[in-house]
Structure 1
Amino acid sequence: MLESLKIQTNHFKLHISLSHTLSKYSNHILLLIAIFKSHHKSKKMIAIPYLTALTTYFSYGLLFAFGQFRDFFRKIFDWFRYNNLHGYAPICLGLEDFYIRRLYLRIQDCFGRPISSAPDAWFDVVERYSNDNNKTLKRTDKVSRCLNLGSYNYLGFAAADEYCTPRVVESLEQYSPSTCSTRVDGGSTTALHNELEDCVAHFVRKPAALVFGMGYVTNSAILPVLMGKGSLIISDSLNHNSIVNGARGSGATIRVFLHNTPQHLEEVLRELIAEGQPRTHRPWKKIMVIVEGIYSMEGELCKLPEIIAICKKYKVYTYLDEAHSIGAVGKTGRGVCELLDVDTADVDIMMGTFTKSFGSCGGYIAGTKELIQYLKYTCPAHLYATSISPPAAQQIISSIKVILGEDGSNRGAQKLAQIRENSNFFRSELQKMGFEVLGDNDSPVMPIMLYNPAKIPAFSRECLRQNVAVVTVAFPATPLLLARARICISASHSKEDLVKALQVINRVGDLVGIKYFLAEPIKQKFD
C-alpha cells in the first residue's frame, strides 16, 4: 500500500506503544513524514511549512529521548515494586503508557475542563489547580465566565429554549428521567419513542428510523449486525473511532481509502471486487462504503455525490454518518444530502446523533422499513441497552419542530442562517489573520493547526486566561504530529462574541507563533 495510506490508517489505532526501541520509533517518524507529503498533493489541505514540520519532529524526538532516559531508571524502581505483588501480574503496566506519562499528564489541565452551567455561547468553567505537576487536578470554588468555542451546540438548543425546555420539563414529570429497561421490555417504549422515530424518519426523508440511547453505540453496535465474515467494509481513512470499532467487531474484511478521495475509492473497489475474498477468492457476500457527512477533526464536507456515483456503479451499499452535519447544514438543516443536492434514496443507511444540533443525547439509524425491522430483532443496542431517556426524546422532537418551523415561528430558519453566517465569517477572518484553518465553507467545525506539542498547552491556557475556552486535540484523536485546536461555532454566538474570540485568538496566535501564513491587512481591525 502507499506510505500515505499506511499513515492515515493510524487514525484507526486507539493507542501506539511509544516505549518501543528507538529504531522502531524512527520508523514511525519516517512514516508520519509521508502524510505531510501526501497533504502537499491534496487540494483540500494547505501545504505545511517545512520548518514547522522539522521543529515538530525535533520536539517529539526530544520528548521521546528524555522520556526513555527517565524510564531506564524507572525500570529499576518498578522491578522492586512488582516483586511485591505476590504472584499477581500488574494491572497497569507502567512502561506501556509512555505517551500518557510523558506528554498527556503534563498538559491534562487543557482537557476535560469541568463546567458549572449549560454549554451555551458563554459558560462557567470551574478553575482547577495541581500540587503534583498535573498528575492530579483539584477543583476550586471559583469559576470563570468564558466564551464557549468548543461545544457541539450548533443550533443553541443545549441551553434553555422557549419552545423546547417547557416541553422537556413536562415530559420529565410525566415519564420520569429513565425507562429503566430496554426497548423490548414492557414500559420502555413510550409514546415519545414512537413519535421520535416517526419524526426522525420524516426529517431525514427515509421510510423508517430506529433510535438509540448513545451516539457512539449507534455505529459500534449496528455495523456488526449488518456486516460479517465474507463481507467487505471500505472506510474513509479518517472515519470516527465508533465506525472503526464497529467495523472491527463485525468480523468483515476492512479496507480504507484515502480521505475524501473518490478516485482512490474506485481503485480500491475495482481491485477488491476482482480479487474476491482472501484465500478463497469467492465473491464478497456484500460490500459497504462508509463515509461521514462532516469529518469531525477536519471540518471537511464529504464528497458525497462522487462517492454515491461510484457506489451505484459497482452496486455496493453506502453508509453515511451525519453526526456533525445533520441539523447543522442544508437549507432546512437536513444535512449534507440537502446541502450537496443528493437524493436520500441513493444513501442506503443514514446514521446520525442527537448530541450536536439537537441538544440532546443518543443516535439514530434511518433506512428502509425492512432494514429497521431487521435491526429491531437483531441489534444488541436495541435489545439489551436501556432506551433513550424520555426527556431527551422530547428535546429532540421539540428541536426538530423548531428547525422545521412547526412551532409556529421562523426561529429554526433563523438559527440555520445564523450558524452558516457565523461559520463562514469566522473561518474567513481566521484565514485572513494567517492561521492554517482546515475544512470547508458552511462547516461549523474549523480546526486551527498547532503541530508542535509545546503549542498545544500554550494556546489552550492563554486563551482560557483571556476567557475564551477552546478545545485542543492531539493523539490519539488525531495523528501524532497533527495536533490542532478545534473551533466549533454555534448559532447562539452573536457577532460581538465572534469578534471578541477573533481578537483573543489573534493575540494568542502571535504570542504562541501559530500563524503559518502571511496575514492580510484586514486583521488590523481586531488589534
Structure 2
Amino acid sequence: MALNPPSPSLSIFREKKSFSQLPSMMKAVSYLSAVQQADFRTRTHDNPHTAPTPALSRSSSPATSFEDFVLNEDDDNSSLVNPNTPPMSEQVSTTPHTEFGHCANEAYRCVSKHDYTKPFLEHTIEEPPLYVHLATYISFIILYTLGYLRDLFGMYFTKSHFTHLEFHDGYAPLDSKFDSFVRRRLKRRMDDCYAQPITGVPGRTLHILDRYSLDYNHTQIYTGGKTCALNLSSYNYLAFSQGHGGWADAVAESIRQYGVSSCGTRLGSGSNDLHVFAEALIARFLGTEDALVCSMGFATNSTFIPTLAGKGSLIISDELNHTSMRVGIRQSGAEIRLFKHNSMSDLESVLREAISQGQPKTHRAWKKILVIVEGLYSMEGTLLNLPKIVELKQKYKFYLYIDEAHSIGSLGSRGRGVTDYFNVPPGSIDVLMGTFSKGFGAAGGYISGSKSLIDALRLRSHSGPYAEAITPSVITQVVVSMASIMGVVPASQLTESMPFPCLDSSIVAPKKGVEELPGMVPASMLPRWMILCPSLADGSEARMRMRRLAFNCRYLHAGLKKLGFIVYGHASSPIIPLLIFNPGKLAVFVRMMRARPIPIAVVFVSYPGTSFLAGRVRLCPSASHTKEDIDIVLRACDEVGGILDMRYGSCERWGIDEVCERAVELVHSV
C-alpha cells in the first residue's frame, strides 16, 4: 500500500515548465537544438555573456522567463527556509551558490544499517540486451580504426607531431604508443567532460568555469563566465567541507594558533599536539587501541602495506581493489593471489588452495596470510560482505586489512563505516585504513589497529618517519568532523557507571555479544581553544546529516532502477554507478545534463578506467542535497535516458511522477 507522500521541503529551484510534459520528440529536438547553438557560439567565439546562462535560482516563486534561471547573487539565505521554522543547521552558507540545502522534513531521513532479517545480496552484474554490447564494440572499432588511420597518415605527412613516439636525438620515447593513442584519439575528444575546472566549495552546488576550444580540445580557453550546477560529482558525503559554519570557524582559529602550514616530518618539527589529539580521537572513534595519520590517502596504502607483509607471506586481494593498494601489495614482495570481486565463495577457494599448497617450490607454510579488501568500492559502489569475511577469518586464521576510504563517515548509524553498518566489533578487524578526503571534508589518511601494530608502523613504514605531517588547519578539520559525529561531553559529566552512552535500540539492534563503540568524546580529548557550537557539540547536526545522506543514497539508487536503468552497487552506497556502455553516449550524457535549465554536474568513467563494455556515470549524492534535488536528478536522467536509449534494466518500471511521489515508500523497501 502506498504511503501518503509527506509535505515537500522547500526547494531553491524553480522551473518554467516541466520537460516531462513534452512529447519525447520535442524534448530531443530541444536538446539537440541547444547543443547545436552552444557549439555554434563556441566555434564563432561569441561572448557567452550575451545570452543568459542556465543556472540555479534561489527564489521560491515560479519562474516566468528563461532569464529567471540566472542566479541572483544578492539574495541571502532567508529565501531558502521558512521563517517560521528556523533551520537546524547552522552551516547554511551566504555565498552565491548553496553549500547546504535545508530540509526540515523528518520523513526524508533514513538510518544506514544492515537488516539481518534479509540475506546479504552478493554483487550481481545485470547485462543489457545483446545489441547494446554489439553497438559498443562497433563504436570502439570505428574510433580505433579512424584513429589509427589518422596516425598512419600523420606519421607520414606531419612527422613533427609524432616525434614523441619515435626515437629522436638518441632518446627512446617515454610514452608508449598505445597510451598516447588512447589519450589523443579517445580521451581528448571528451576532455571538456573529463576535466571540468570548478571554483569554490563543492557543496550542494558548484561553479564550473566555462571554457571553449577552437582546436578540438587540444587547448581550452576560459571565457570568464561560470555555470552554477547541482553537484553530483563530489565525494563531500556529509557536506563537512564548507566555507562557513562551525567547521570553518575551528579551522580559522587553528590558523591563528599554529599558522598556515607546518614544516618537517612526523619525527621532525612538523608534528604537534594536534596530531596527538587526532590519533587518539581516531582510535576512539573506530573502537581500536591506537591510530596513525598520514598526510596522503594514496600513500597510506602504498607505504604501509609493504610493512605488513614481505617475502614468505601471502596477500590475497580483491580483483577490483584501488590502485593505491595494488602499488603497496607489489612493493611488499609477498606472494599475491586475487579473488573475484566481493565473492566470498571464491575467496574461500583461494584460501583453501593456498593453505593446502603452501609456498611455491618449497611448499612450506606461509609466514602470514593477509587478506586486503575495501569496505566500499569506489568504482562499483559495492559493499563488503563483512559478516561472511569475518566468519572466514575465524575459520582460516588470516589477517584482515580493510580500506574504508569511502565507507568511513558515510555508512553506519554512527558513521563508523562498515563495522558500524553491520554491527561487527572493530576488534574483529586487524587493520582499519581510511581517508579524510571523503566523509570528513579534509585530506590525508589513517591506519588503525592494535597498539603494538601502530608502534611498529610508526618506525618501519616510509610514511611514518619520512612523510610530511598534515598541516594544522587540515588536521583541525578532521578533529572537528569526528568530534561532531561522536558528540562532545564535559569530562565531569562522565561517570564510571556510564562511561559511554548506550546505543539506541530503535536505531541499531546490537547482536548478542557484540561490543559497543565508544560514545561521546570527553572535552579533555580536544584542544582547549577548540570550542564547538551547540549543534556540533551534541552531535545533532552530524546525526541529521548522516540520516539525510542515507535517504538520498537509497532514494537515488532505487529511483534509477525503477526508471529502468542498470545501476550497480549497494542501495546504501553514496557512489551510484549508472551504466551507459556506449562511449559516444557518455560524453553526450554529461553535456546534456550540464545544458539543462537546472545544470547538473556529473562525472563519467570509460576505458581504460573500466572495461570496454562498462562505461558509466558515477552519481554521488551528499547530505547537502534535499529530496527535491534528487527529484531534479531523477527527472533529468529520465528525460536524457529516454533520448539516448539508456533504459536497459529488467526491474519493474515506474513512471517518474510515481517515483517522486512514493519516494519514502521506495526508500524503506530496499
Q: Give the equivalent residue in structure 2 for 1:497.
A: 629
Q: Give the equivalent residue in structure 2 for 1:517.
A: 649
Count of aligned positions: 486
Q: Give the equivalent residue in structure 2 for 1:99.
A: 182
Q: Given residue 105 of structure 1, which amino acid in structure 2 is its aligned partner?
A: R
Aligned pairs for 1:109-120 (under 5 A) are 109-120=192-203
Q: Given residue 218 of structure 2, which amino acid in structure 1 is its aligned partner?
A: K
Tell me how far 1:380 sits from its aligned partner.
0.8
Q: Which string of whole-angstrom CA distances, capped at 9 and with x for unpartnered residues, describes residues 337-389 of structure 1?
A: 11112111111000000000100000000000001000110111121111011
DSSP 3-state at the match of 1:55: helix
Structure 2: which 5+ runs fail to align? Answer: 1-120, 489-536, 661-670
Q: Given residue 236 of structure 1, which amino acid in structure 2 is its aligned partner?
A: D
Q: 1:188 aligned to 2:280?
A: no
Q: Give the equivalent residue in structure 2 for 1:449.
A: 579
Tell me how far 1:68 sits from its aligned partner.
2.3
Q: 1:340 to 1:124 in 2, by over 3 A?
A: same
Q: 1:485 aligned to 2:617?
A: yes
Q: Given residue 222 of structure 1, which amino acid in structure 2 is its aligned partner?
A: F
Q: Which string of whole-angstrom CA distances, capped at 9 and with x for unpartnered residues, describes residues 293-333 of structure 1?
A: 11111111101111111122111100001011001010100
Q: Give the equivalent residue in structure 1 for 2:409.
A: 327
8 A Cα contact 1:326 1:335, kept in partner? yes
Q: Give the equivalent residue in structure 1 for 2:252.
A: 169
Q: 1:494 to 1:224 in 2, by over 3 A?
A: same
DSSP 3-state at the match of 1:234: strand
Q: 1:409 to 1:226 in 2, by over 3 A?
A: closer
Aligned pairs for 1:68-217 (under 5 A) are 68-77=148-157, 82=163, 85-94=168-177, 96-185=179-268, 187-217=269-299
Tell me how far 1:395 sits from its aligned partner.
0.4
8 A Cα contact 2:339 2:346, kept in partner? yes
8 A Cα contact 1:229 1:253, kept in partner? yes
Tell me how far 1:42 sits from its aligned partner.
7.1
8 A Cα contact 1:106 1:135, kept in partner? no
8 A Cα contact 1:405 1:413, kept in partner? no
510-519 vs 190-199, which moves further: 510-519
8 A Cα contact 1:503 1:526, kept in partner? no
Give the structure with higher Rg (CA).
2
Q: 1:471 to 1:403 in 2, by over 3 A?
A: same
Tell me how far 1:409 sits from its aligned partner.
4.5
8 A Cα contact 2:485 2:539, kept in partner? no
Q: Give the equivalent residue in structure 2 for 1:38.
A: none
63-72 vs 373-382, which moves further: 63-72
CA distance in 1, matches of 2:192, 2:398: 45
CA distance in 2, matches of 1:280, 1:340: 40
Q: 1:65 aligned to 2:142?
A: no
Q: Give the equivalent residue in structure 2 for 1:27.
A: none
Q: 1:300 to 1:94 in 2, by over 3 A?
A: closer
8 A Cα contact 1:45 1:438, kept in partner? yes
DSSP 3-state at the match of 1:125: strand
TM-score normalized by the length of structure 1: 0.89
Structure 1: which 5+ runs fail to align? Answer: 1-40
Match of 2:477 among 388, 395, 409: 395
Higher helix fraction (1 or 2): 1
TM-score normalized by the length of structure 2: 0.70
8 A Cα contact 1:154 1:490, kept in partner? yes
CA distance in 2, matches of 1:213, 1:505: 38
Match of 1:350 among 400, 423, 432: 432
DSSP 3-state at the match of 1:386: coil
Q: Give the equivalent residue in structure 2 for 1:261.
A: 343
Tell me how far 1:72 sits from its aligned partner.
2.2
120-129 vs 401-410, which moves further: 401-410
8 A Cα contact 2:562 2:659, kept in partner? no
Q: Given residue 450 of structure 1, which amino acid in structure 2 is its aligned partner?
A: I
Tell me how far 1:161 sits from its aligned partner.
4.9
Q: Give the equivalent residue in structure 2 for 1:433.
A: 563
Q: 1:415 aligned to 2:498?
A: no
CA distance in 1, matches of 2:171, 2:127: 51
Q: Which string of whole-angstrom CA distances, capped at 9 and with x for unpartnered residues, describes residues 256-307 of structure 1?
A: 1011110100100111112222222222111110111111111111011111
